[in-house]
Structure 1
Amino acid sequence: MAALIVRGWVACGCGNATGWVQVLRDPRLAKAIYAMHQRPGVNWKVEDLAREAGLSRSLFAERFLAATGTTPARYLTELRMRLAVQYITHEGQALEKVAFSLGYQSLAAFSRGFQTHHRPAAGSPARHGTLESAFM
């Protein structure tokens, strides 16, 4: 029932919606995001995602940023990091398996990316005993 309500709202224009609602309204963007979610280990380039969406590179990048508030590369990195946490903490997968399944060429590259993504902001208290500490 909820899905029908959301679909109807999207079909009617959603008012001045932005963000994920905007992505749902644009089937071309949705195709590219779906591709990233289905194959997060692919070395996606903006050109590849634009091709998935059936748009030019520049138009795709512009629409993606307007709809999501981030770049395709940043979105993919954030997706990979969320999946990494899920695979490691909830599914107990080995770090090396996670790294390679998410498109990293080495465990070291994955660890650097993970540390960079999960580094506490300047001035915030350091987090101890968290998943991030496993890579430090």
Structure 2
Amino acid sequence: MENKEEFLTEVLIRVQRNYVHMVEIERLTKDMADSLSRNDKESVELLLKMRGEEMDQASTSKHEIQTILEAMDGEDQKKLRSWLNGENGKKYEPDSFESRKIAELSSQTQQVLSRTINLDKVLNSKVAGKESFYQATS
């Protein structure tokens, strides 16, 4: 990859992919909540497996983004990290279509992740009670 636009295009592809995986993780987590409310343990187990696969794919996308970031020059790398972290316009204003989409999708991904974590906390507490993962980390 020779120029900034190529790097941004490759990152955008992976950010979009990661967003799709995160939305699917959220949907599967909601489905797990429904299955738990029906006491359908078989569905919960299947959904947990499916969610784990989505998490693995999201992790792969994030790793690919990190690899691209490491190949970028200092200032461009700082800008991209800023947009990926949802710091839109605070220090670096997105200056192209790709950078604006990266910033937008990164922000939306963080919102999806936040909702999913909140739902997962509720589910985990219902299932594990005092042994909940979230109880140990609070």
* TM-score bucket of the superposed structures, by smaller chain: under 0.3
Q: TM-score, normalised on structure 2? A: 0.28
More helix by share: 2
